[in-house]
């Protein structure tokens, strides 16, 4: 469930030439960290 942000960010950057803000990067990191925490518990 944490893969869509990881897949969408590079696609939007390279294909659509959109700028990626720090909020998007931070949200992606938090999503991946959340899944990691859920898997450890």
* pLDDT tens profile 1-41: 667 878 888 888 899 999 999 998 898 888 888 888 989 98
Q: How many domains does the chain have?
A: 1
Farthest-apart Cα atoms in the chain, separation:
38
pTM, entire model: 0.69
List the domain range (segments joined by +) for residue 16: 3-40
What pLDDT sits at residue 23? 93
Rounded distance between C-alpha atoms, residue 17 and residue 24, angstroms: 15
What pLDDT sits at residue 1? 63
> What is the distance of C-alpha 15 from the center of its chain?
16
What pLDDT sits at residue 2? 65
Residue environment code for 1-40, b if the CB has 16+ CB neighbours within 10 A, otherwise e: eeeebeeebeeeeeeeeeeeeeebeeebeebeeeeeeeee
């Amino acid at each position: 469930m944490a893969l869509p942000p990881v897949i969408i960010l590079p696609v939007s950057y390279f294909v659509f030439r959109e700028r990626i803000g720090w909020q998007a990067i931070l949200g992606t990191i938090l999503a991946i960290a959340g899944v990691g925490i859920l898997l450890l518990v």
